Amino acid sequence: AARLNGKTIVITGASSGIGRSTAFEFARVAGPASQIRLVLTARRLNVLQDVAADLVKQFGDTVKVLPVALDVSDPDAVRGFVPSLPEEFRDINVLVNNAGLAKGFARAPGIAEADMNTMFATNVTGLINLTQAVLPIYQARPDGGHGDIINIGSNAGRYPYVGGGIYCATKAAIRSFSESLRQELVATRIRVIEIDPGQVETNFAVVRHYGDQAKADAIYANVDPLEPEDIAEVIVFAASRRENVVLADALIYPSHQAGYGVMHRK
């Protein structure tokens, strides 16, 4: 898509799952002459370097890829992120706020404070801090500003469930922040886009179960979940619309899901 030509795209949580797939989808849709720049961020730099190498292997060096270690839950790291970018990667056009996680299924009053803090610091304050770090770049452009903020929420942000008190609250907070931000920026060309996936098979369930692969596998047993590519396609579709088109909000389920617990099991 020519609309992506020359763009600099920052993806958080690009070492796995939806974020990783989104990097490949941007490269695929933009095409070989597009000269897009991808800034891939996550905590695990070595994994990002492997993703970058795979991208170059698949798409050649027409896609410029920069892996950067960034823990979004660390406000100082987020503050230092934009100034630390090499100049050719600093003129950001698209920010995909994808890094996020759930920890456990505990119910109050049994919710571990550390889990609560990790979820809020990553999913909410991390996302907001990075958005605030990037917005001035957008606002320096004509017409009040240009650029895309793409926030990955969840069906969990719309329909809270038992054992999801904190995770659901973080995703509801993203939804609320996205809505406010879109209103605050209405006089600009800055697009605020929220993508809310239902069940996607990624490393998400392993992380939620503190690394217990068997419990994670049970979540995806006898269902037909989305693949990360399915969400990546919608993210890149939203970013490659005509500038006056804002895909403000999308809820994406696999066909056998119609709510958190509303799941057809085979």
If one asks whether residue 99 binds ligand NDP (CB under 6 A), the answer comes out as: yes
Q: Per CB under 6 A, does 26 bind ligand NDP?
A: no
Q: Report the residue number, 56 or 121, with the smaller CB distance to ligand NDP.
A: 121
Give the residue numbers annotated as catalytic, written as ranges. Answer: 167, 171
Ramachandran angles phi, psi of 85, nearest 5°: -70, 140
Residue 173 to residue 118: CA distance in whole angstroms? 15
Rank residues 97 and 240 by Cβ distance to ligand 8X3 and give the closer one.
Answer: 97
**257 in contact with ligand NDP (CB under 6 A):** no
Distances (CA, A) of 44 to 41, 50, 172, 187: 8, 10, 27, 38
Please name which of 91, 184, 185 lies closest in space to residue 143, comparing C-alpha atoms.
185
- Taking CB under 6 A as the binding criterion, the range among 15-23, 31-39, 81-89, 236-244 that sits at the site for ligand NDP is 15-23
In whole angstroms, give the CA distance from residue 228 to residue 247. Answer: 19
Distances (CA, A) of 237 to 12, 81, 151, 182, 256: 18, 27, 14, 19, 23
Q: Is residue 12 a contact point for ligand NDP (CB under 6 A)?
A: yes
Q: Which of 51, 156, 234, 238 binds ligand 8X3 (CB under 6 A)?
A: 156
- Note whether 152 binds ligand 8X3 by CB under 6 A: no
DSSP 14: T
Written in H, E and C, the secondary structure of 51-67 is HHHHHHHHHHHHCEEEE
- Among ligand 8X3, ligand NDP, none, what does residue 152 contact (CB within 5–8 Å per kind)? ligand NDP
Residue 202 in contact with ligand NDP, rule: CB under 6 A:
yes
Q: Which residue number, 104 or 164, has a Cβ lying nearer to ligand 8X3?
A: 164
Decide: is 34 part of the binding site for ligand 8X3 (CB under 6 A).
Answer: no
CA distance 205 to 163: 14
Residue 88 CB, nearest approach to ligand NDP (Å): 23
Judged by CB under 6 A, which of 128, 197, 234, 260 binds ligand NDP? 197
Judged by CB, which is closer to ligand 8X3: 102, or 133? Answer: 102
